[in-house]
Amino acid sequence: MIIVIGAGLAGLTVAIALQQAGHKVTVLESAPQITYIGAGIQVSSNSSRVLRTLGVEPHIVKYCTEPVDLRMMRWKTGEVLVECPLKQPAQEEYNSPYWHIHRADFHRGLMARALEVGVTVHLDSRITKVEPDIPRLTTKAGKAYTPDLVVASDGLHSICREIVLGKKSPPNPTGQMVYRVTLPAKKLAGVPGLEEFATIPRNNHWIGPHATILSYLLEGIEQPLINFVFTCDSTMDEGVDTKLEGSEEVRERFKEWDPRLGVMLEHVQEVLKWRLFTHHELANWAHPANKVVLIGDAAHAMTPYLAQGAAMGIEDAAVLAGILAEPDFATVDKLPESLKLYENIRIKRAARVAEASISSRYFTQMSDGPDQEARDKWMLEHPGIWEQHINIRSRKEFLDELFGYDVYTVLSEALAKARKEGVDAVTAQVGTSSVSAIPAVL
C-alpha cells in the first residue's frame, strides 16, 4: 500500500498514476472538507501531456481555454512590446495543448478521476506523527497507517520535508506577493477598449518596475471569467501569508499603470492577497530509510513567473509512478534504487525551471531606465519566437526544453540506462540553453 499525504494537485495526480500502475493508494488530507481557493492556473504542454495520459482530460476539458498567444505590454501605456504564439506550437510542435483552467475545476476533475480509478481519499486526517523508518503515520484521531511507502505532497509548509532532511527547512520569502482577482467577463461587455480582454483567450502581461500583471480568460463552471494576477513587492504583515480583502489597496498601488486596468478594477470588490515563497534546491527528496519521499511543492516550491509550479509536481507524479510501475523497480526491497532514480531524473530538472523562473522575474520587472529601454526596443524589433531571444518566454531553444519535455520519453530512456549501467549513471535531462536574460544589443 502507498499513502499520499495531501489531496492537492500533485497529490491527486500521483495517486491516480500510482493506482493505475497497480498499487493500492490512499490519500490522507488534513482538511475536513475540500474547499477551493486561488483562481486560474496554466497547464502547459509538458503537464497536459501527463494529464491526458492519465485519463484526466475528459473531466476537465470543457472548462479549459487555449490561449492563442502571449503578449507583453509596457506597464504605463499598454503598448505591445512582443507577442509569441502559444496554441499553435503547443498543438503542432509539442503535441499537447496549453490550457487555462480555474484551479477549482482542475481540482474537481482530478478528484473525479482519482475516485474513478479506485483511489481511497480520507478527509479530516491531519498527520500528527511520522515515523519514517517503519514507516508509520498517525492522524490527529489516533488512526495509524503502516504503508510500504509514503509520498509526501503536503505542500509549501511540508512537515515531511523537515523529516526527510533531518533539519528545519522553512520556505524562503521572495519579498513579493500577488493580488489574485477573478472578474466575470460579462462585466466588461461593451466597455470601449476592453472587449479583447473579455473575448480573446490570451496571456496578457503588463511588465513594469518591481511588478507584473497577468490576465487571461477562464471558461468557468458557470460563466466565463477573467483571471488577474498582480505581482509586486510585498506589503503583507509579518506572519500573514494569505488575506481576503477589498480592492482599494490594489487599485491604489497600480493607479499609475495602463488606464484600462483601472477601469477593469472598478468592477472588482474582492481580492485575495498571497505571499510568495520558494525553496532552495534540496540535495535529496527521499528519507535515508527510503520509505518517505517528497513531491510537488513539498520538494521544490517555486516562484510563479513562468507558471510552472503545478507543472513540475505533475511531472514528478508521472516519473515516480512510472518507475514504480516497472516490476523490477516496484517491490519494497527495490525502493532505495527506485527513489534514487526518481531523484536523479527530477531534482535538477525542477531546479533549472526554478532558476529560469527567477530570471524571468528580473527581466520583466526592470526599473525604467537605459536597460529597460534597450529591452523594450529589442523586443519590438523581434516579435514572436526566436533562438537566443532576450525574453525567455520567446526563446525557442528554452521553450523546446520546457514545453517539449516529454516525461514518458525521458522516463523510458532513464529506465533503459539504469538497467544497463545502474541508477547512479542516470542524470536529469535539463537542456543546455541559457535560462538567464540575454543583454539587449542596441
Task: State the CB neighbour count (10 A cutoff) for residue 41.
Answer: 23
Task: State the CB neighbour count (10 A cutoff) for residue 390.
Answer: 21
Rounded Cα distance between 137 and 62, Å, is: 38
**From the centroid of its chain, how far is CA 433?**
21
Q: How confident is the model at residue 223 (pLDDT cuts 50, 70, 90)?
A: confident
According to DSSP, the β-strands at 69-74 and 80-85 are antiparallel
Cβ proximity of 46 and 90 under 8 Å: no
Quick: pLDDT tens for 234-290: 999 988 999 999 999 999 999 999 999 999 999 999 999 999 999 889 999 999 999
Name the one residue in this structure whose C-alpha cell is 523490477. Answer: 328
The helix or strand, by DSSP H or E, that contains position 13, with its residue range, turns out to be helix 9-20
pLDDT at 97: 98
pLDDT at 39: 81
Q: Would you state the torsion angle of the CA atoms of residues 413, 419, 421, 427, taken in this order, to the nearest 10 degrees?
A: 40
Cβ proximity of 392 and 360 under 8 Å: yes
pLDDT at 200: 93
Burial class for 142, CB neighbours closer than 10 Å (0-12, 13-18, 19+): exposed
Degrees to nearest 5, angle at CA 392 with 387 and 394:
55
The helix or strand, by DSSP H or E, that contains position 195, with its residue range, turns out to be helix 195-199
Instruction: Say yes or no to pLDDT of 440 above 60.
Output: no
> pTM of the full predicted structure?
0.96
Instruction: Say yes or no to pLDDT of 386 above 80.
Output: yes
**From the centroid of its chain, how far is CA 128?**
27
Instruction: Say yes or no to pLDDT of 190 above 90.
Output: no
pLDDT at 189: 84
Rounded Cα distance between 105 and 224, Å, is: 13
Joined grid coordinates for residue 49 = 501531456
Q: Which residue has the higher pLDDT, 46 or 193?
A: 46
Per-residue pLDDT averaged across 331-354, rounded? 97
Quick: pLDDT tens for 107-125: 999 999 999 999 999 999 9
pLDDT at 442: 37
pLDDT at 77: 96
Question: 22 φ, ψ to 5°?
Answer: 105, 5
**pLDDT over 70, % of the chain:** 98
Strands (E), 189-260: 203-208, 211-218, 225-233, 242-246
Domain architecture of the chain: domains with CATH: 2-66+102-170+280-363+396-425 (3.50.50.60), 173-278 (3.30.9.30)
Per-residue pLDDT averaged across 422-441, rounded? 78
Quick: pLDDT tens for 12-22: 999 999 999 99
